[in-house]
Amino acid sequence: DTGVSQDPRHKITKRGQNVTFRCDPISEHNRLYWYRQTLGQGPEFLTYFQNEAQLEKSRLLSDRFSAERPKGSFSTLEIQRTEQGDSAMYLCASSNPGQGSTYEQYFGPGTRLTVT
Amino acid sequence: SQQGEEDPQALSIQEGENATMNCSYKTSINNLQWYRQNSGRGLVHLILIRSNEREKHSGRLRVTLDTSKKSSSLLITASRAADTASYFCATVPPPGTYKYIFGTGTRLKVLA
């Protein structure tokens, strides 16, 4: 068990470009979350998957954001037409209700996005 | 903002002292969790307290929950330099929704 991994760890892009991030959860975890964190703030919920189904999406998420989790394993988060306000750390977390500690989330190291 | 509030925003103490941080939230909860985030690292789960519990201990951590006041506190006893980090509370909603709400965090600095 290597924990939750995210790729890339850092991404610098120009405004208007599209970017895609990947998250690999802990293998037996069926719940997967995406968060955005800006400097000095706590993580802000973006979306939640249970297996391959996207069950909840933040109203803060504009149409430029989309997430997928094909086959209920890894997940991708895409941001289209990036804006400078999208600069943030994007965190992925997973959890498994079967472990007894139903609600504990395991976080990845994050992808730091800088939009220039 | 939908985030919970934490206070203080920043706390600086000497090694060996106790550190207390507080969290207030706005919605009904199933449970409340505390996480730690070291500089440059991901978040790590510390402790969970359910809505029907009032106090919980884990090693040097003590968490209290007052659902009538919608508030929680985290006490770290006999602090160490390694406890230097940001601490966040996260509220977990009742079943049916999945949106964890994190607080704004308390930045703790423990001086050796």
A58: chain B residues, CB-CB within 8 Å: 99
B43 touches chain A (CB under 8 A): yes
**Once rounded to an integer, what is the mean pLDDT over residues A40-55?**
94
% residues pLDDT > 70 (chain A): 95
At residue B15 the predicted structure's pLDDT band, cuts being 50, 70 and 90, is very high
B93: chain A residues, CB-CB within 8 Å: none
Half-sphere exposure of B61 (CA within 13 A, CB side): 18
- Whether residue A107 and residue B101 make contact (CB cut-off 8 A), yes or no, is no
pLDDT at A71 over 90: no
- Whether residue B48 and residue A103 make contact (CB cut-off 8 A), yes or no, is yes
At residue B67 the predicted structure's pLDDT band, cuts being 50, 70 and 90, is very high
pLDDT at A36 over 90: yes
Per-residue pLDDT, B80 = 96
pLDDT at A98 over 70: no
Q: What is the DSSP string of A30-89?
A: -EEEEEEE-TTS--EEEEEEETTEEEEE-TT--TTEEEE-GGGS-EEEEE-S--GGG-EE
CA distances from A38 to A41, A89, B8, B111 (A): 6, 6, 19, 26
